[in-house]
Copies of this chain bind each other. A is one copy, B any other.
């Protein structure tokens, strides 16, 4: 980007923008990356015409069959009212279903359908493409290191 697309009229300090003290903060770097990644991810999901969060919700359901909506909401960091809408849409598309929990009739136990699992596999493949550049830039070792560190950060977020 330093030498490509050289615009004619004005000096373009495009790549030379300084972060200043902002660079000392983890949150800022996280935000930048996550913004960019979710933008690329949105390009994929837009192709499928579905709202964000649908995918991760279904993935969580798939990994934890029978969990309740509140637990789902807590895990993906949404309000319980948002979880309702997400599950609504998952059900409309035939990718997940609510069954009343036999032990606690307040709860809706969530399960994926076969179609849901098939779509999940499709999306996981698409996601791997999105993250491919990132994972390439890191080696195999750094990738594991990153996830390990991120996990510790995550736990610290909720503990502190």
Contacts and interface: CB of A to CB of B under 8 A. Distances in A.
Interface of A: 1, 9-10, 13-14, 17-23, 25-38, 40-41, 56, 59-60, 62-64, 67, 71, 74-75, 77, 103-104, 107, 124, 127, 130-138, 142-143, 145-147, 149-160
Given A22-B63, A60-B20, A156-B133, A150 B10 contact: no
A20 B156 contact: no
Given A63-B22, A71-B17, A145-B145, A152 B131 contact: no
A129 to B, nearest CB: 11
Contact of A25 (B26, B127, B133, B157): B127
A8 to B, nearest CB: 12
B18 A64 contact: yes
Contact of A149 (B27, B36, B64, B145): B145
Contacts of A136: 156, 160
Given A14-B74, A37-B30, A71-B14, A22 B156 contact: no
28 contacts: A1-B159, A13-B64, A17-B63, A17-B64, A18-B63, A20-B59, A20-B63, A21-B59, A21-B63, A21-B124, A23-B147, A26-B131, A27-B131, A29-B147, A30-B34, A30-B150, A31-B56, A32-B77, A33-B157, A37-B157, A137-B155, A137-B159, A138-B149, A138-B152, A142-B149, A145-B145, A146-B149, A146-B153
